Amino acid sequence: MVSISDIRKWNADQLEQARSEVQRELQVLTSEGDEFAGTKISEGDWTGKSSASAMAAHDKLLQQGDRHAAGLAAIVKGLAQASDAVRPLPRQINEAEELGRKYGFQVGENGDVTDTFAGKPLPPDIHPEDRERAKQEITAKLEQVVRTATDIDADLAGVFGKAGAGQYGVGQTGNLTTAAAAGTAAMALTTPDPPAGGTAAQNAAWWGTLSKAEQGAAIGATPDKIGNLNGVPAVARSQANMNRIPAMRARLMQRLKNSGSVDEIKSIEAKLKSLDKIKETMHRGNRSLLVLDDTHPRMEAAIGIGDVDGAKNVNVFTPGFTTTVDGSIKGYDSAMADLLQKENYLNRVHGGGSNAAVTWIGYQAPQADEVASSQSVALPQAAQHGGNKLAGFLSGVGVAHEANNAPLHLTALGHSYGSTTTGEALGHNTPANDAVLFGSPGEGWNKPHVNGGHIYSEQAATDYVPAAGHTSDLFHLPTSPGGPLGPDTYSDPNIQHMSTNIKANPEGGDPLAPAFGHSEYLNNGTTSQYNMAAVGSGHSELVKPETEGDRMLRDASYFTPGFMFGTPK
Binding site for other proteins (CB under 8 A): 280, 284-286, 305-306, 330-331, 333-334, 337-338, 340-342, 344-346, 348-351, 510-513, 524-525, 527, 530, 542, 544, 568-569
Q: In the complex, what is the shortest distance from the CB of residue 210 to other proteins, in angstroms, rounded to a whole number?
A: 32
Q: Which residue, 97 or 326, has its beta carbon nearer to other proteins?
A: 326
Q: Which residue, 210 or 498, has its beta carbon nearer to other proteins?
A: 498
Q: In the complex, what is the shortest distance from the CB of residue 505 to other proteins, in angstroms, rounded to a whole number?
A: 16
Q: In the complex, what is the shortest distance from the CB of residue 403 to other proteins, in angstroms, rounded to a whole number?
A: 25
Length of the chain: 569
* C-alpha angle 320-546-473 in degrees, rounded to nearest 5: 70
Q: In the complex, what is the shortest distance from the CB of residue 511 to other proteins, in angstroms, rounded to a whole number?
A: 5
Q: In the complex, what is the shortest distance from the CB of residue 72 to other proteins, in angstroms, rounded to a whole number?
A: 54
- Three-state secondary structure call for residue 479: coil
- Who's near 251: CB < 8 A, 6+ residues apart? none
Q: Which residue, 75 or 534, has its beta carbon nearer to other proteins?
A: 534
Question: How far apart are alpha carbons 265 and 253 in whole angstroms?
Answer: 10
**How do beta strands 300-305 and 287-293 pair?**
antiparallel
> Which DSSP category does 247 fall into?
H
* Residue type at 300 in one-letter notation: E
- Who's near 61: CB < 8 A, 6+ residues apart? 36
Q: In the complex, what is the shortest distance from the CB of residue 352 to other proteins, in angstroms, rounded to a whole number?
A: 9
Q: Judge contact between 540 and 454, C-beta under 8 A.
A: yes
Q: Which residue, 333 or 443, has its beta carbon nearer to other proteins?
A: 333
Q: In the complex, what is the shortest distance from the CB of residue 342 to other proteins, in angstroms, rounded to a whole number?
A: 8
Q: In the complex, what is the shortest distance from the CB of residue 514 to other proteins, in angstroms, rounded to a whole number?
A: 10
Q: In the complex, what is the shortest distance from the CB of residue 416 to other proteins, in angstroms, rounded to a whole number?
A: 17
Q: Which residue, 198 or 506, has its beta carbon nearer to other proteins?
A: 506
Q: Which residue, 92 or 462, has its beta carbon nearer to other proteins?
A: 462
Q: Judge contact between 226 and 215, C-beta under 8 A.
A: no
* C-alpha angle 334-339-343 in degrees, rounded to nearest 5: 145
Q: How many CB atoms lie within 10 A of CB 124?
A: 6
Question: How far apart are alpha carbons 193 and 171 in whole angstroms?
Answer: 33
**How do beta strands 300-305 and 355-361 pair?**
antiparallel
Q: Which residue, 133 or 330, has its beta carbon nearer to other proteins?
A: 330
* Residue type at 423 in one-letter notation: G
Q: In the complex, what is the shortest distance from the CB of residue 332 to other proteins, in angstroms, rounded to a whole number?
A: 10
* Dihedral-angle region of residue 525 (phi above 0 means left; psi in -120 to 50 means alpha; beta otherwise): left
> Which DSSP category does 42 fall into?
P
Q: In the complex, what is the shortest distance from the CB of residue 304 to other proteins, in angstroms, rounded to a whole number?
A: 12
Question: How far apart are alpha carbons 8 and 109 in whole angstroms?
Answer: 8
Q: Which residue, 287 or 409, has its beta carbon nearer to other proteins?
A: 287
Q: In the complex, what is the shortest distance from the CB of residue 513 to other proteins, in angstroms, rounded to a whole number?
A: 4
> Which DSSP category does 565 fall into?
B
**If we measure between CA atoms, which residue out of 220, 150, 131 comes closest to residue 189?**
150
Q: Judge contact between 402 and 428, C-beta under 8 A.
A: no
Question: How far apart are alpha carbons 496 and 489 in whole angstroms?
Answer: 9
Q: In the complex, what is the shortest distance from the CB of residue 542 to other proteins, in angstroms, rounded to a whole number?
A: 5
Q: Which residue, 188 or 272, has its beta carbon nearer to other proteins?
A: 272
Q: Which residue, 44 or 285, has its beta carbon nearer to other proteins?
A: 285
Q: Which residue, 294 or 307, has its beta carbon nearer to other proteins?
A: 307
Q: Which residue, 71 or 506, has its beta carbon nearer to other proteins?
A: 506
Bridge-partner residues for 316, per DSSP? Answer: 358, 412
* Residue type at 312 in one-letter notation: K
Q: In the complex, what is the shortest distance from the CB of residue 567 to other proteins, in angstroms, rounded to a whole number?
A: 10
Q: Which residue, 171 or 568, has its beta carbon nearer to other proteins?
A: 568
Q: Judge contact between 419 and 469, C-beta under 8 A.
A: no
DSSP H or E segment with residue 9: helix 4-9
Positive or negative CA dihedral for 253, 258, 260, 264?
negative
**What are the CA-CA distances from residue 358 to residues 54, 317, 363, 410 (Å)?**
75, 6, 14, 11
Q: Which residue, 206 or 530, has its beta carbon nearer to other proteins?
A: 530
Question: How far apart are alpha carbons 396 and 414 in whole angstroms?
Answer: 18
**If we measure between CA atoms, which residue out of 79, 82, 76, 89 comes closest to residue 9?**
89
Positive or negative CA dihedral for 486, 437, 489, 368?
negative
